[in-house]
Amino acid sequence: MTMTRPEGAQQTERSSRTVSDSQHEAAELMMPHEANILGHVFGGAILAMMDKTAAVAAIRHSRTACVTVSVDRVDFREPIHVGDLVVMKASVNYVGRSSMEIGVRVEAEHLIEGVRRHTNSCYLTFVAVDKNGRPVEIPLVVPETDVEKKRYAAAQERRRRRLEERKAEGGN
C-alpha cells in the first residue's frame, strides 16, 4: 500500500540517536524496609527501580514524556539481599514510530566482598506522548556495536511476537 502526503505537506527527515546517547545507570543500596522476612528484597521494589531506570533512558532518547506500556517476563534468578548495592543498566534496544523497547540489566553487588552478580534482566516498552497523552514520533535508534546490533534484531523479533499476541487477543 502506498501512502500519499497531503498536498503542500513536506517530507521531514526523522532524526536519530545512538544507543549510547540515552543509556542510563542507577544504583541503590538495599535497606531493611525493602525486604521480606527472609531479608530478600521485594520483587516489586526491584520492578519499580527497573521502571524508573528504563524511563530515564526512554526520556533521554525521545526528549519528551514517556509512559510504560508493557513489561516483558521477569524472572528473578537469585535473591537480592539487604545491604546489596543494586545496579541497573538501561539501553534503548529498538524504536518504532512512537514506541521503544528498553532493556534493563540488574546486578547485585556485595559491597564488602566486591562480588557482583547478574540477578535478572527485563524488557520494557515505552511510548512517547505529548501533553495530551497522545503518541508522538521519536528519533530512530542507531545500533553501532555488534552487541547493540544483536539486541536490536532480538528486540525486533520480540516486538513482532508482542504485536501477534495483541492481535490474537483482539487488541489494536
pLDDT per residue of the chain (172 residues) written in tens, 0 to 9: 333 334 444 546 889 999 999 999 999 999 999 999 999 999 999 999 999 999 999 999 999 999 999 999 899 999 999 999 999 999 999 999 999 999 999 999 999 999 999 999 999 999 999 999 999 999 999 999 999 999 999 999 999 998 898 899 986 6
CA angle 50, 54, 59 (to 5 degrees): 150
* DSSP designation for 129: B
Cell of 99: 514506541
CA distance 128 to 59: 8
Q: For the domain covering 16-168, report its CATH number.
A: 3.10.129.10
Q: Where are the domains of the chain?
A: 16-168
